[in-house]
Amino acid sequence: MSERGVYFFFLLLLFPLQSFAKPICPIGEHWVASHVRRTYVRDDGNRVRAAQVKGHCRKNPRGYEKWHQNLSNNRPKIWGYKQEESKKWSVDEIERLHEALSVLPDVFLNLANVKIYRMHKSQFPGNPATSNNKDITLYDLAFQRKQSLAQIVAHELSHVLYRKLSEKEKSSFRQASGWIEHPEFKGALTTEKNKKFIQPDSRLSVDEDFSNHLEHFLFKNKSLKETSPKAYLWIWDKYGLGFKIKLGVKK
């Protein structure tokens, strides 16, 4: 073996082949491997066409440094839906998710210990995502629907936010959104007769109603203000001026 061959042999021992396959990007950027990009519409309304994307370094979107560590190809440790099958994240899906996260308010991005998983199909027809404690799962539908991915993720992160509220805050939200104690069943909740539900599944629980409220505040603001004005003001008072979609912000 020549002197040069010996040199490369020792290089391979010190640095496995994998390390050469992923170029090192400048600080503040990450490597995006070659992949097929599917057509989708960004939250600013711009349509992104399908294309064969070459490997390249891309500027880290807002929140990337934290959230890229929180994606998992595994199954959540506690997941009641045993028939749901886990799925490996594709490069295209990872990039779309980071783009979606980058437009969300800081209160979402600052949540700690939230893992995001990937599964094929929910056991509930038409469901694009599910949350359980601090685990969020995105299904195939999340990447196929016309509804924005950011909106889907915001809804699931809102469930995590609700679980972090104090009992006093939960009580004040219930009052603002039309939930009351059941007159016949102690400890149970019901709604005021004139309560308007912003989504049909808001009837299921205060938790679901809260997540729908935050989702609408961000993506259907005018509709929420008209349908649930007291809860609208509650969200405004709780989360402030910064609770809005940040279009055009990269980091």
- Please tell me the distance from the alpha carbon of residue 163 to that of residue 114, in angstroms, as a whole number: 12
* C-beta separation of 156 from 131 below 8 A: yes
Q: Where are the alpha helices (DSSP H) in the chain?
A: 3-14, 17-21, 64-67, 91-101, 106-109, 149-164, 167-177, 206-219, 221-227, 229-239
Instruction: Say if residues 59 and 90 touch (Cβ distance below 8 Å).
Output: no
pTM to 2 decimals? Answer: 0.86
Q: Which amino acid is at 105?
A: P
- 144 or 58: which carries more pLDDT confidence? 58
Gap between the terminal Cα atoms of the chain: 50
Q: Are strands 135-138 and 129-132 parallel, antiparallel or unpaired?
A: antiparallel
In this prediction, residue 70 has a pLDDT band, given cuts at 50, 70 and 90, of very high
Task: Write down the pLDDT at residue 19.
Answer: 46
Block residue for tokens 């010996």: 6
How far is it, in rounded angstroms, from Cα 149 to Cα 61? 15
Q: Can you tell me which residue has the tokens 């891309």? A: 58
Provide mean pLDDT across the span 212-216.
96
Across the chain, mean pLDDT equals 87
β-pairing verdict for 115-118 and 71-72: parallel
Question: What percent of the chain lies above the pLDDT cut of 70?
Answer: 87
| 8: confidence class by pLDDT, cuts 50, 70, 90 | very low
pLDDT at 21: 60
User: Which whole number is the average pLDDT over 200-207?
Assistant: 90
In this model, does residue 65 exceed pLDDT 90?
Answer: yes
What does the pLDDT read at residue 62? 95
Q: Select from 33, 90, 93, 74 the least CA-distant residue to 57.
A: 33
Q: What are the Cα distances from residue 196, in Å, to 67, 217, 224? A: 36, 15, 10
Q: What is the pLDDT of residues 136-190, one digit of tens each?
A: 999 999 998 677 899 999 999 999 999 999 999 999 999 999 887 776 665 667 7
The upper half-sphere exposure of residue 160, i.e. CA atoms within 13 Å in the direction of its Cβ, equals 23
Determine the average pLDDT of the residues in 44-70.
Answer: 94
Q: Is the pLDDT reported for residue 251 higher than 80?
A: no
For the chain, which residues make up each domain, given as ranges? 25-239
pLDDT at residue 6, as a whole number: 47
The pLDDT-based confidence of 23 (bands split at 50, 70, 90) is confident
Give me the half-sphere count of Cα atoms (radius 13 Å) on the Cβ side of residue 46: 4
Rounded (5°) CA angle 98-134-66? 35
Residue range 79-96, pLDDT digits in tens: 888 899 999 999 999 999
Per-residue model confidence (pLDDT) at position 12: 47
Q: Tokens 């980071």 correspond to what residue?
A: 98
Is a pLDDT exceeding 80 seen at residue 5? no
Beta bridge partners of 58: 30
249: pLDDT confidence band, cut at 50, 70 and 90? very low
Number of separate helices (H) and strands (E) present in the chain? 10, 12
- The answer, yes or no, to whether residue 192 has pLDDT greater than 90, is no
Least confident of 41-45, 117-121, 202-206: 41-45
- 100, 37, 90, 118: which is closest to 64 by C-alpha? 100
- Single out the residue of 130, 138, 128, 132 nearest to residue 67, CA to CA: 138
Residue 17: predicted pLDDT? 46
